Structure 1
Amino acid sequence: MTSTTPATETVVVVAVFTAAPGKLDALRSALVEAIPGVHAEAGCELYAIHDAPDDQIYMLEKWTSVDLLDAHGHGPAVARLQELTAGLTVAPPQVLRMTPIPAGTAEQGLL
């Protein structure tokens, strides 16, 4: 069974960055520097980073639509992020797009 996400539906993204050996602090700093440019983009509701085990940083994102997320992916803020993180990771980030499933209260059941 195949499904597609409507272009107007909220989308949540988790991106996992794995730092190259000895580069975790530099990767963290690069991501912090890149975030204000993303926060200024249309459709960005959440774009936050979190430390995780094994020299990983998780980025949690929420976008008002797939179209605006796609525009972000091809825009100058992502180009800047890629420039800042070049050589700081062991591989490109792993990116997972998800569609929220409302459950429970609106405050606790949705990102």
Structure 2
Amino acid sequence: SGKTPVCLYLAMQHGIFAANYPLVEADLQGTELPAALRPFRRKLFGLTIEPQRLQLIRARRHSGRQYAQADQCRREVARAEELFALNRLPVLDTTAISVEEIATRIIAALGLRE
């Protein structure tokens, strides 16, 4: 899904300190951002992906586990997108774009220097 490569690219190519926070099941239960993220609300950017693509990625790594099932991926993506919307976070669909393009769009959307 590209979270870690995007963070590395932002750091190494643009000198931007970035981190990824993978949302886990407990994070997706409520409507508030996880407590660890709240202090950084203005710096957050949500990355999403089409559930089918996420399922393919997970199936390669964790075949046969619930984590890689299509319905699990659909549910997680839908809840993450809902959480992003409820918290008014900018969101980027990373399904079919490169790490470089994701980074460029994040820089532009957040008004960071290029």
**Shared fold per TM-score greater than 0.5:** no
Where is the helix percentage greater, Structure 1 or Structure 2?
A: 2
Q: Is the strand fraction higher in 1 or 2? A: 1
Higher relative contact order (CA 8 A, sep 6+): 1
